[in-house]
C-alpha cells in the first residue's frame, strides 16, 4: 500500500535465493539484523546491544534494496520503503513530519524494517553556507537522528540505510546507536556476475550450448540490474528468432545491443 512519502510492503516476496553472490554481505546482515529479531535472547544473555541500523553502500543496481527486502522476508517483517530525496523535496517542515510518521508506522507494524534509500539526500555533511533548502534538509536529518535515538531497544524495528555516496555522509549518522554496522555492496566480479546470471535465468529455458561463465566474463563492469536486463533481452532475441530455447547466440546478440546502449549512455552529457 502507498502511504504519503513511503511504500509499505506487508511481506516482501524476495528471498536470499534471489540474490546472486554477496555471500559475505548476506552473512553480515543476517547477524546484525535478522538474529536480533529472531533470537533476541542471545544478545540479552551475552549482554550486548544489537545494532539498530545497518548502512549498505556501493554503486547503484548492485542489490541493496533486494538484500533489505530479503531480510524483511526472512524475519516476517513489514518493509517500509522510503527514499531520502523524496523526504526532503516536499514543503518546508514536511520532511521532519514524514520521518516522524515513518517511525510511528514502523512501531505500529512491528516487526518491521525501515529502508531509507539515498540516505545521503538527508544525511550529507553540512557546509558553512546554508540555503533555506539546506536548513530543511538539516531539520529532516535532526528528526531522523532523534527518531533513531528515541526508539527503545526492543529490537523489533530495524533501520537499513542505502547510499552510493558514503563519502559525503554526516558522521553523526554513523555514531554508535545509529548506523553502527556498515556493509559494502560492490559491483560483482566474474564469479558474482555468474551467480547473478544463474538467478535470473533460473526460470528460463536455456539451451545447453550457453556458456554462462563466458557471458559472465563478457559483462565486466555491469551491475545486477544490467545483468537482469541482458537475460530478458536474450529471451526477446530467442522469441524473435522463434527458438524454443535461449541459445548462446541470443546472449551474444543481447550483449552487443547492450554494449551499444551502454556506450551511448556513457557518451551522454551529465
Ligand atoms: P539503487 O542504489 O539504484 O537503489 P540497489 O543497489 O538498491 O540500487 P536493487 O534495486 O537491489 O539495487 O537492484 C535492482 C535489480 O537488479 C534487482 O531487482 C535485481 O533484479 C537486480 N539485481 C541487482 N543486484 C543483484 C544481485 N546481487 N543478484 C540478483 N539480482 C540483482
Q: How many CB atoms lie within 10 A of CB 111?
A: 17
pTM of the model: 0.90
Distance of CA 212 to the CA centre of its chain: 25
The pLDDT assigned to 1 comes to: 46
The pLDDT assigned to 138 comes to: 85
- Highest mean pLDDT: which of 75-89, 177-191, 253-267? 177-191
What is the rounded distance in angstroms from the CA atom of residue 195 to the CA atom of residue 74? 21
The pLDDT assigned to 202 comes to: 96
Task: Say how many Å lie between the CA of residue 68 and the centre of ligand 1.
Answer: 11
Say yes or no to pLDDT of 270 above 50: no
Which residues line ligand 1 at a C-beta cut-off of 6 Å?
A: 19-22, 60-66, 117, 162, 164, 196, 199, 224-225, 228
Share of the chain above pLDDT 70, in %: 90
Beta-strand pair 112-117/2-3: unpaired
Picking from 69-73, 101-105, 176-180, 252-256, which range would have the lowest pLDDT averaged per residue? 176-180
What is the rounded distance in angstroms from the CA atom of residue 155 to the CA atom of residue 37? 6
What residues contact residue 11 under an 8 Å CB cut-off, 6+ apart?
Answer: 72, 73, 76, 77, 78, 79
Measure the CA angle with vertex 64, ends 59 and 70; round to 5°: 165
Say yes or no to pLDDT of 183 above 80: yes
Considering only CA atoms, which of 179, 219, 248 is closest in space to residue 20? 219
Beta-strand pair 2-3/157-163: unpaired
Which residues on neighbouring strands pair with residue 112, listed in sequence order?
A: 78, 157
What is the rounded distance in angstroms from the CA atom of residue 105 to the CA atom of residue 261? 41
pLDDT tier for residue 147 given thresholds of 50, 70 and 90: confident
CA-derived radius of gyration, the chain:
21
Please report how many Cα atoms fall inside a 13 Å half-sphere around the Cα of residue 164, on the Cβ side.
10
pLDDT tier for residue 59 given thresholds of 50, 70 and 90: very high
Which residues on neighbouring strands pair with residue 183, listed in sequence order?
A: 56
The grid coordinates listed for 51 are: 545494532
pLDDT tier for residue 265 given thresholds of 50, 70 and 90: low
Task: Say how many Å lie between the CA of residue 194 and the centre of ligand 1.
Answer: 15
| Residue range 97-111: mean pLDDT, rounded | 91
Is 65 labelled as part of a ligand binding site?
yes
Helices (H), the chain: 23-29, 35-38, 40-46, 64-74, 84-88, 94-109, 120-123, 132-150, 190-201, 212-217, 224-240, 248-267
Torsion, Cα of 144, 145, 146, 147 (10° steps): 50
Share of the chain above pLDDT 90, in %: 60
Phi/psi of residue 193, nearest 5 degrees: -65, -35
pLDDT 10s digits, 149-166 = 887 666 789 999 999 999
Considering only CA atoms, which of 219, 220, 225 is closest in space to residue 254? 219
What is the average pLDDT value for the chain, to the nearest integer? Answer: 89
Task: Say how many Å lie between the CA of residue 60 and the centre of ligand 1.
Answer: 8
Give the residue, out of 186, 225, 229, 231, with the most ligand 1 atoms within 8 A of its beta carbon, to mutate for a pocket test. 225
Amino acid at each position: 500500500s502507498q502511504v504519503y512519502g513511503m511504500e509499505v510492503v506487508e511481506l516482501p516476496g524476495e528471498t536470499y535465493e534471489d540474490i546472486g553472490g554477496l555471500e559475505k554481505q548476506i552473512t553480515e546482515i543476517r547477524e546484525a539484523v535478522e538474529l536480533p529479531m529472531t533470537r533476541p535472547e542471545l544478545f540479552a544473555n551475552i549482554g550486548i546491544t544489537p545494532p539498530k541500523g545497518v548502512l549498505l553502500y556501493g554503486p547503484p543496481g548492485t542489490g541493496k534494496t533486494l538484500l533489505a527486502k530479503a531480510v524483511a522476508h526472512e524475519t516476517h517483517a513489514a518493509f517500509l520503503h522510503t527514499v531520502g530525496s523524496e523526504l526532503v523535496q516536499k514543503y518546508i517542515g514536511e520532511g521532519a513530519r514524514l520521518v516522524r510518521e515513518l517511525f510511528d508506522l514502523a512501531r505500529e507494524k512491528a516487526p518491521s524494517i525501515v529502508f531509507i534509500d539515498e540516505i545521503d539526500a538527508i544525511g550529507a555533511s553540512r557546509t558553512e553556507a546554508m540555503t533555506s533548502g539546506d536548513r530543511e534538509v538539516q531539520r529532516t536529518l535532526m528528526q531522523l537522528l532523534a527518531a533513531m535515538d528515541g526508539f527503545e531497544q526492543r529490537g523489533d524495528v530495524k533501520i537499513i540505510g542505502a547510499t552510493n555516496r558514503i563519502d559525503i555522509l554526516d558522521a553523526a549518522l554513523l555514531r554508535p546507536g545509529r548506523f553502527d554496522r556498515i556493509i559494502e555492496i560492490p559491483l560483482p566480479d566474474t564469479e558474482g556476475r555468474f551467480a547473478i546470471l544463474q538467478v535470473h535465468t533460473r526460470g528460463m529455458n536455456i539451451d545447453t550450448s550457453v556458456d554462462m561463465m563466458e557471458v559472465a566474463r563478457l559483462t565486466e563492469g555491469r551491475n545486477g540490474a544490467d545483468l537482469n536486463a541482458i537475460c530478458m533481452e536474450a529471451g526477446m532475441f530467442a522469441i524473435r528468432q522463434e527458438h524454443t530455447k535461449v541459445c548462446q547466440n541470443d546472449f551474444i546478440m543481447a550483449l552487443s545491443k547492450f554494449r551499444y546502449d551502454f556506450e551511448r549512455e556513457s557518451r551522454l552529457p551529465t
